[in-house]
Structure 1
Amino acid sequence: MDDGFHVLDVEYGDVVPVDEGGEGVPIPPGVLPEGEDARRGAARRWLAEQGYRAVPRGL
């Protein structure tokens, strides 16, 4: 995430840049791995450190 600020969409688990209209939990700037799955994993680890936990998606 060295190219700007990102947020985690807590409903879908997506990591999106703030300038793309992203709303969610702000993630501190840093370097994320390539690929959406790897980015989700990094975001989930960070959220776990903040006291949040992942839950299964529901339809």
Structure 2
Amino acid sequence: MIKLTGLDEKEFVINSDHIEKLIEIPQSVITLVNGNKYIVKESNDEIIEKIIEYKRKIYI
């Protein structure tokens, strides 16, 4: 699970294993495997870093 910030400045948590696609136009649009989309303030690079950090925590 990673913590992200929506355009309304509210934080929410998303299951990173369900992310299918990331597009940056200019905000990041996250598409989940179920088709839901979320627009967040973090860049794609920041999201990827959060995913890597989360995976390191659970697999080490």
TM range (shorter): 0.3 to 0.5
- Which protein is richer in strand relative to its size? 2
After TM superposition, the score normalised by the length of structure 1 is 0.39
After TM superposition, the score normalised by the length of structure 2 is 0.39
